[in-house]
């Protein structure tokens, strides 16, 4: 599930004429950075939700072959991250699935971070497994940390702690956590907190460079980070 239905208000004036997922960084649309990572990890089908200027996203993904893209249309009503997933559950199916934000991406280190998440996933212990970044590996992040990581891999909210990890905009979740939920606007954070309460929210630090693009002035640093990370990999 790729969350691509946001309004992109902070990215104006670029998003006056295009949806944020199609803003290009280093010659590639933000949405394609995520879809390419899914394809590399072997994902065959991706559900992409749309809202603002969603027709442009529909036309854009129609050109892709891997992964196959199914549109979850929210043009009539924006459902936020949690509601958007609930709305798409019929297409997602009964198995654990990746969740990606369309305005963050990463340059992998020595192996695919999404494959590493899949190898770490344990449905007996976990309801959600988050990919994490430390502050030193992040470009474009202007806030603090989101979570503290225990020795056993469990997460709890950072609550203003000076050090910890950022949620890196990629996760694996089991669809059972959405049982009984309605396709009404609500945040995915509801499910993070429920999993924390049950001791079933886990995290895995990523390897490589994590990049978030929230405003136009973040594009330049993002492109420099891409160039530097690609040069290191070569």
Listed by start position, the domains of the chain span 2-233
At 230 the pLDDT is: 75
**Residue 174, pLDDT above cutoff 90:** yes
Return all residues near 80 (Cβ < 8 A) that are at least 6 apart: 185, 186, 187, 188
Identify the band that residue 228 occupies on the pLDDT scale cut at 50, 70 and 90.
Answer: confident
Mean per-residue pLDDT, 114-120: 97
CATH number for the domain formed by residue range(s) 2-233: 3.90.550.10
Angle made by CA atoms 117, 197, 149, in degrees to the nearest 5: 45
**Residue 232, pLDDT above cutoff 70:** no
**Percent of the chain residues past pLDDT 90, beyond the cut:** 80
**Residue 234, pLDDT above cutoff 70:** no
pLDDT digits (tens, 9 = 90+) for 23-80: 999 999 999 999 999 999 999 999 999 999 999 999 999 988 899 999 999 999 999 9
**Residue 109, pLDDT above cutoff 90:** no
> Do 137 and 206 contact (CB within 8 A), yes or no?
yes
Long-range Cβ pairs for the range 135-139 (8 Å, 24+): 135/163, 135/166, 137/206, 137/208, 137/209, 137/210, 138/166, 138/210, 138/211, 138/212, 139/209, 139/210, 139/211, 139/212, 139/218, 139/221, 139/222, 139/225
């Amino acid at each position: 599930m790729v969350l691509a239905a946001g309004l992109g208000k902070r990215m104006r004036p670029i998003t006056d004429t295009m949806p944020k997922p199609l803003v290009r960084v280093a010659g590639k649309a933000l949405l394609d950075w995520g879809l390419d990572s899914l394809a590399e990890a072997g994902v065959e089908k991706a559900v992409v939700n749309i809202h603002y200027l969603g027709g442009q996203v529909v036309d854009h993904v129609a050109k892709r072959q891997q992964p196959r893209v199914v549109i979850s249309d929210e043009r009539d009503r924006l459902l936020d991250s949690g509601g958007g997933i609930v709305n798409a559950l019929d297409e997602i199916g009964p198995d654990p699935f990746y969740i990606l934000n369309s305005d963050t991406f990463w340059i992998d280190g020595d192996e695919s971070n999404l494959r590493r998440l899949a190898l770490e996933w344990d449905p007996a212990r976990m309801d959600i497994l988050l990919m994490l970044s430390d502050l030193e590996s992040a470009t474009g992040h202007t806030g603090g940390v989101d979570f503290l990581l225990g020795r056993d891999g469990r997460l709890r909210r950072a609550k203003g702690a000076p050090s910890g990890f950022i949620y890196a905009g990629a996760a694996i979740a089991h669809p059972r956590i959405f049982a009984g939920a309605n396709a009404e606007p609500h945040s995915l954070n509801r499910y993070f907190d429920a999993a924390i309460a049950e001791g079933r929210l886990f995290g895995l630090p990523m390897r490589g460079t994590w990049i978030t693009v929230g405003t136009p002035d973040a594009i330049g640093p993002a492109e420099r980070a891409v160039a530097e990370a690609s040069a290191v990999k070569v």
